[in-house]
Amino acid sequence: MEERYRNTLIDYAYITIGSAITALSIAMFTNPAQIAPGGVSGIGTLLYHTLGIDVGLSILVLSLPIFLIGVKLFGKMYGLKSLIGTLLLSLFTSMWNIMFGYGGILDYSKDMSLWLSCLYGGVLSGFGMGLVMKGGSNTGGTDIIALIIARYTRITTGTCLMIVDALIIAASAFIFSIESALYAIVVVFIMSWVLDKVVLSMGTGYAKTIYIISDHLEEIGRFILDDLERSGTVLPAKGLYTNEERKMLMTVIPNQSISRLVRKVHELDQRAFLIIQDTHHVLGEGFTPIGRMVAEQKNDVTQE
């Protein structure tokens, strides 16, 4: 029980620190530079420079309805941790703006300042979001919209997220300038690269298939059922070299829960063997309903 509380504290520490760092990238670099690299924070940047609305307030007002829709559709997967991630990002963004002002720390009369904002804004945002995801949470907003679109279409979550962010960046081209939109694309590229390094290769899918071989499969399975609220399948396996009969656990886990599972497996068995693969389309309970895919396939056959 103490171990579980310790892991919970670690998760919330990741979420808090990650939210603070992500908010710092918005308040210090991207918003002052008029760069809107997608996401709710990008919309907040557009609203600040057009209507004067505080970016942190915009993040809160825009994210909460999206979060409630996510909870309704995806249940506990978007529970307390995701709400805390959303609230903390809004709070820290407003706090940094109050402490340092809305002009940032760079002199934007110099061209190099825009490039520095791209670099440090992208690095800090990617690092912060990666920490939040390692804590099993997210900062709300367009990632939930992407999951909703992916659930009701045949488009992958990564592609949906790219489309949503692209629309926001395109809007920044009309409101600010084409150059601003191009800078935003640079920020997205840097942010994605850094985030990939922090979280276990996020990929374009929204989940991972994990195969686990360990002497502690029962404890690992209990963690998956009770803490991650997921399930799995135990498969028979046989060692090629040892010819030994063993068992292997296969499970599908959303990206934001990967680090928690890996950490738990390492705690229970440092000699465990894991295979982690990108999973682009998952059908069944907790993911896309299989009936929807069957209906879509029937429609495709009818159209042909």
Q: What is the mean pLDDT of residues 119-125?
A: 94
| pLDDT of res. 203 | 42
**0.85 exceeded by pTM:** no
CATH topology of domain 207-279: Alpha-Beta Plaits (3.30.70)
| pLDDT of res. 301 | 44
Instruction: Assign 3-class secondary structure to the chain.
Output: CHHHHHHHHHHHHHHHHHHHHHHHHHHHHHCCCCCCCCHHHHHHHHHHHHHCCCHHHHHHHHHHHHHHHHHHHHHHHHCHHHHHHHHHHHHHHHHHHHHHCCCCCCCCCCHHHHHHHHHHHHHHHHHHHHHHHHCCCCCCCHHHHHHHHHHHCCCCHHHHHHHHHHHHHHHHHHHCCHHHHHHHHHHHHHHHHHHHHHCCCCCCCCEEEEEEECCCHHHHHHHHHHCCCCCEEEEEEECCCCCCEEEEEEEEEEHHHHHHHHHHHHHHCCCCEEEEEEECCCECCCCECHHHHHHHHHHHHHHC
| pLDDT of res. 68 | 81
**pLDDT tens-digit map of 10-20:** 888 988 999 99
The larger pLDDT score, comparing residue 25 to residue 3, is at 25
CA 166/CA 277 separation, integer angstroms = 27
Whether the CA torsion 109, 115, 120, 126 is positive or negative: it is: positive
**pLDDT tens-digit map of 187-243:** 988 988 888 777 644 444 457 789 999 988 999 998 888 877 788 889 888 888 788
Cβ pair 27, 93 in contact under 8 A: yes
**pLDDT tens-digit map of 125-155:** 989 988 887 777 777 677 777 767 766 776 7
Predicted confidence (pLDDT) at residue 53 exceeds the cutoff of 80: yes
Question: Where exactly does CATH 3.30.70.120 map onto the chain?
Answer: 207-279
